[in-house]
Structure 1
Amino acid sequence: MAEENDEETWELRLYVAGQTPKSVTALANLRKHCEQHLKGRYKIEVIDLLVNPQLAEGDQILAIPTLVRKVPEPIRKIIGDLSNEERVLVGLDVRPLTSK
């Protein structure tokens, strides 16, 4: 099956531990950055390590919240609440949209 997307869908995985303020902030910031720079081209999977602690091992999660970019490769990780937009974009290797 051929997809109509000219660019691949970004697969992002956010590891959190419950609904802590930092985890909630990280998810809100991630959604905001994705809507601004990857609109319609991303999937976010939130993994709560309080529910599924065994999933931390697969991506070698040492701190939370941690964002993992699965696709496009290579895999990249960012630790923290994702409040620094520039750091997130550089960390994920997202090129900011320049349409104004």
Structure 2
Amino acid sequence: MSPKQTPRTATANRNAAKAASSEYLLRLYVAGQTPKSLQAFANLKEICERHLKGRYQIEVVDLIENPALARGHQILALPAVVRQLPPPVKKIIGDFSNAERVLVGLDLRPLKKLRSA
């Protein structure tokens, strides 16, 4: 803890650093291999590769193949992505074309790049 930090800010900084290094488990819910579903997957994967490279896993759940999962997982609209890990669970719907909305909505924390002094 530096002299300017209080115990509260030191804890907040540690929590932010831990979250930034977390492994993310994202579950993408789709209805078949439609163009909309494929585009949502491509957009999500691009965001993850750019901001979470090596720190994420995407599971695709096709609700055409197993529609009961929609109710059990409380999915009301498609495509939807659920951040399963790290807790807490976060959900968003859409085509995921707006990277900022996805990052904020799922509370994804990119690794900070080191700045040269």
TM-score by length of 1: 0.87
Cα contact 2:31–2:79 (8 A) shared by 1: yes
Cα distance, 1:40 vs. partner?
A: 0.7
Amino acid at match of 1:80: G
What is the CA–CA distance in structure 2 between the aligned matches of 1:60 and 1:80, rounded to whole Å?
A: 16
Is 1:82 aligned with 2:88? no
Q: 1:15 aligns with which of 29, 32, 56?
A: 29
- Which stretch of the first structure deviates more once superposed, 65-74 or 54-63? 54-63
Cα distance, 1:94 vs. partner?
A: 1.7
Cα contact 2:21–2:111 (8 A) shared by 1: no
- Percent sequence identity is 64
Is 1:43 aligned with 2:57? yes
Larger radius of gyration: 2
In structure 1, stretches of 5+ residues that fail to align are: 1-5
TM-score by length of 2: 0.75
CA RMSD of aligned residues (A): 1.7
- Of Structure 1 and Structure 2, the greater helix share is in 2
What is the CA–CA distance in structure 1 between the aligned matches of 2:90 and 2:103, rounded to whole Å?
A: 11
Give 1:3's aligned residue.
none
